[in-house]
Structure 1
Amino acid sequence: MSTFTLPKAFPIPVVGIGPGSQPAAPDLNYLPLPRLLDGFDMPWLPTAEETAHLGNAKALVAELIRRMQAWDGTSEPYPSLQLNGLDRDGRTLVSQLLGEGEVSARVRCLNGHELLIQESVFAGVWRVLETDADGQPLADRIEACAIPAAVWQQARAFGRRELTPFDPAGVALMNAPAVLAEVAERAAAYQDGDEDHVINFSLLPMTPEDMAYIDANLGGGNSGVFSRGYGKCRVMATGLQNVWRVQYFNGMNAILLDTLEITRMPEVALAAADDLADAIERLQEALDWLTGEQVA
Structure 2
Amino acid sequence: MTAETIIPGLVGPGTQPENEDGATLDYMEMPRDMVTFHQPLAPEPEDTLGMEEAKALLNQMADDLANYKIDSSALTYSLNSLAPKDLGLINQIMGEGEVSIVCGTRYQAQESVLAGVWRVVEITGKDNQISDNIEVAAYPDSIFNETFKTAAETIELDSTFPEGVRNAPPVLSEIKDKVANYRAGQPCHAINLTLLPQTDEDIAYLAEKLGVGTTIILSRGYGNCRVSSTMTKNVWWVQYFNSQDATILNSIEIVDLPDVVRAAQEDILDSAERLSEIMEVYK
* Structure 2 match to 1:69: 66
* Structure 2 match to 1:58: 55
> Cα distance, 1:247 vs. partner?
0.3
The amino acid of 2:136's aligned partner reads A
* Structure 1 match to 2:225: 233
> Cα distance, 1:96 vs. partner?
0.2
SS in 1 for 2:42: coil
- How far apart are the structure 2 equivalents of 1:165 and 1:143? 39
Give runs of aligned pairs for residues 183-222 of structure 1, distance below 5 A.
183-222=175-214
Work out whether residues 103 and 215 of structure 2, in 8 Å CA contact, stay in contact via their aligned partners in 1.
yes
* Structure 1 match to 2:155: 163
Q: 1:231 to 1:240 in 2, by over 3 A?
A: same
The amino acid of 2:165's aligned partner reads L
Give runs of aligned pairs for residues 139-288 of structure 1, distance below 5 A.
139-166=131-158, 168-288=160-280
Confirm whether residue 92 of structure 1 aligns to residue 88 of structure 2. Answer: yes
Range with greater deviation from structure 2 (65-74 or 165-174): 165-174
> Cα distance, 1:253 vs. partner?
1.0
Pairs aligned (count): 262
- How far apart are the structure 2 equivalents of 1:104 and 1:43? 18
* Deviations 1:205-244, CA, capped at 9 Å, x for gaps: 1111111111111110001110123210000000100000
The amino acid of 1:174's aligned partner reads R
* Deviations 1:9-51, CA, capped at 9 Å, x for gaps: xxxxxxxxxxxxxxxxxxxxxx988545343211111111110
The amino acid of 1:191's aligned partner reads R
> Cα distance, 1:168 vs. partner?
4.5
SS in 1 for 2:139: coil
TM-score normalized by structure 1? 0.83
The amino acid of 2:227's aligned partner reads V
> Cα distance, 1:188 vs. partner?
1.7
* Structure 2 match to 1:80: 76
Aligned-residue sequence identity (percent) comes to 35
* Deviations 1:255-295, CA, capped at 9 Å, x for gaps: 10000000000001111211111000010111112x1x4xx
- How far apart are the structure 2 equivalents of 1:149 and 1:168? 40
Range with greater deviation from structure 2 (90-99 or 34-43): 34-43
Q: 1:165 to 1:104 in 2, by over 3 A?
A: same
SS in 1 for 2:180: helix
> Cα distance, 1:117 vs. partner?
0.3
Cα RMSD between the aligned structures? 2.2
TM-score normalized by structure 2? 0.86
SS in 2 for 1:195: coil
- How far apart are the structure 2 equivalents of 1:130 and 1:190? 30
- How far apart are the structure 2 equivalents of 1:103 and 1:93? 21
Unmatched runs of 5 consecutive residues or more in structure 1: 7-30
Give runs of aligned pairs for residues 21-60 of structure 1, distance below 5 A.
34-60=31-57
- How far apart are the structure 2 equivalents of 1:117 and 1:40? 19
* Structure 1 match to 2:99: 103
* Structure 2 match to 1:133: 125
- How far apart are the structure 2 equivalents of 1:154 and 1:5? 24
- How far apart are the structure 2 equivalents of 1:161 and 1:2? 21
Q: 1:188 to 1:61 in 2, by over 3 A?
A: same
- How far apart are the structure 1 equivalents of 2:30 and 2:161? 46
> Cα distance, 1:189 vs. partner?
1.7
Unmatched runs of 5 consecutive residues or more in structure 2: 1-5, 12-27
Higher relative contact order (CA 8 A, sep 6+): 2
Range with greater deviation from structure 2 (96-105 or 67-76): 67-76
Work out whether residues 65 and 271 of structure 2, in 8 Å CA contact, stay in contact via their aligned partners in 1.
no
Q: 1:169 to 1:195 in 2, by over 3 A?
A: closer
- How far apart are the structure 1 equivalents of 2:90 and 2:8? 31
